Each structure stands twice: as C-alpha cells, then as structure tokens.
A and B are shown apart, each in its own frame.
Chain A
C-alpha cells in the first residue's frame, strides 16, 4: 500500500519556471524524504526533512512539511530541462519496533520544456 500520494500526477512547465509538487501521507512520521527518478534509472535521494522542521532548502530545492495536515511540498526553482524526471515522497511510520518500511508515493512526472 502507498503511504504517500503526490499531486499532481503530471506537471509540464517551461524552462525557468518554478515547479511545485505536493505529497500527502497517512500516519505520523519522524522524517519525510524526496527522491527523483530519471526514466529507466534508480531513485536518487534529494532531501530529508525531519518532523520538527517546517522548511528546508538545498540549492534550487525547497521542501516544506506540515505535520498537522500530513503534507509536504517540493519546490524546484528556475527549472531546467535536466530536471525532467519523476519525483517521489517517501515516509516511514513512527516505528513500533518491527516496521522498517520506507513507503513511497505514486510520484509526480515533471516535464520541463526547453
């Protein structure tokens, strides 16, 4: 089952514009991560935000986390054609001891047009 759901499923923008993707999840978490996947490749870790953080930056990436709404957003500023990929959020529920699943959402397919 998917813990997170990304929105929108697909997003197409022009190079230079900003791209915003949202993620909603179901259970309480300690951390939330975002990954990127180019077509035919494995996933690459982008950024991790802890439950006591509200916002985090890394280069052109800005992630927000609202634990009261169980949601997160990923903003990519000044997008480039090379940013074209699928983006996934991933969470692990606050563990009761045995649960070790990092659960991924269904992803947002971002297309940046040159």
Chain B
C-alpha cells in the first residue's frame, strides 16, 4: 500500500474486555514495530517483527499483550482483560528491514486511539 494503515482509528472498550488492533505495513517491508504512546510522551517500544517472527518482544508490559504476524505482512496486536491504564495511542511502523536498527527509516501509521472505560 501507499503507507502504513492501522484500523480501527479509534477503539472504545470496557475494562476487562479483549481488543485487537490491526496494522497493514508498507508492501515489501519485512520489519514491523508496535509502539504505545501516552499523552505528552514519546512512543514506547512494545514489539518488533522481522518477517513472521517476533525478534524482540521485550517491550510488552505483561502477558495480557500479544502480537502476531502470521504471513509476514499484516500484524495484529491483541490485548486481553483490558485495564484503564492500557488507554493510549498504539502506533505501528514498518521498515525495509535490510539494515541494522538505528540505520533504517521507520514509516508510521496514524495509530489507534484505545480508550478503556
């Protein structure tokens, strides 16, 4: 696609519910990243995929958070038993994946605003 697409753009849910957030990366990008951004803060790393595998999931805050990328393209971030503290903007980014991290430009989607009531 022309850019990174994230759906939905807004998600309101109740405490304790399960949510799925979707990311469509730029076609041909092998690397995909999920970040979380709270108001007034910078993005906080959650997980990074190279192809289908999660190469670094050290940023996931606890086992309620899980992400998949079964075919090496679209990714889904899954949050179980949501809590009010999970409210944030969830950003997805992709990159070519052919250089060491830090040497690559990341392309971001517009994010999903998650609100847990």
Q: Is A110 in the interface zone, CB < 8 Å from B?
A: no
Q: Please report the C-alpha to C-alpha distance between residue A29 and residue B103 in the assembled complex, in whole angstroms.
A: 10
Q: Please report the C-alpha to C-alpha distance between residue A41 and residue B50 in the assembled complex, in whole angstroms.
A: 25
CB-contacts of A1-49 with B (<8 A): 2, 4, 29-33, 35, 40-45, 48
Q: Is B56 in the interface zone, CB < 8 Å from A?
A: yes
Most chain B CB inside 10 Å of its own CB: which residue of A92, A100, A104:
A100
Contact A45 B110 (CB under 8 A): no
With A42-B4, A42-B91 known as contacts, the answer to whether A103 contacts B45 (CB < 8 A) is: yes
**Size of interface on A: residues with Cβ below 8 Å to B:** 31
List of A residues within 8 angstroms of B42 by Cβ: 2, 4, 88, 104-107
List of A residues within 8 angstroms of B100 by Cβ: 30, 92, 95
Contact B55 A100 (CB under 8 A): yes
The number of chain B residues touching the other chain, given as a range, is: 20 to 34
List of B residues within 8 angstroms of A44 by Cβ: 108
Contact B105 A45 (CB under 8 A): yes
| Contact residues of A: prevailing secondary structure | strand
List of B residues within 8 angstroms of A40 by Cβ: 110
List of A residues within 8 angstroms of B43 by Cβ: 43, 88, 104
Q: Please report the C-alpha to C-alpha distance between residue A34 and residue B114 in the assembled complex, in whole angstroms.
A: 26
Q: Is B59 in the interface zone, CB < 8 Å from A?
A: yes
Q: Give, as a whole number of angstroms, the nearest-CB distance from B60 to chain A.
A: 12
Q: Is B102 in the interface zone, CB < 8 Å from A?
A: yes
Q: Is A98 in the interface zone, CB < 8 Å from B?
A: yes
Q: Please report the C-alpha to C-alpha distance between residue A95 and residue B35 in the assembled complex, in whole angstroms.
A: 19
With A88-B42, A100-B56 known as contacts, the answer to whether A48 contacts B103 (CB < 8 A) is: yes
Binding site for B on A (CB under 8 A): 2, 4, 29-33, 35, 40-45, 48, 50, 88, 90-92, 95, 98-107
Binding site for A on B (CB under 8 A): 4, 33, 35, 40-45, 48, 50, 55-56, 58-59, 91, 93, 100-103, 105-111
A-B contact pairs, 13 of them (CB 8 A): A4-B42, A42-B93, A42-B108, A42-B111, A48-B105, A90-B106, A100-B48, A100-B50, A101-B45, A101-B101, A106-B42, A107-B40, A107-B41
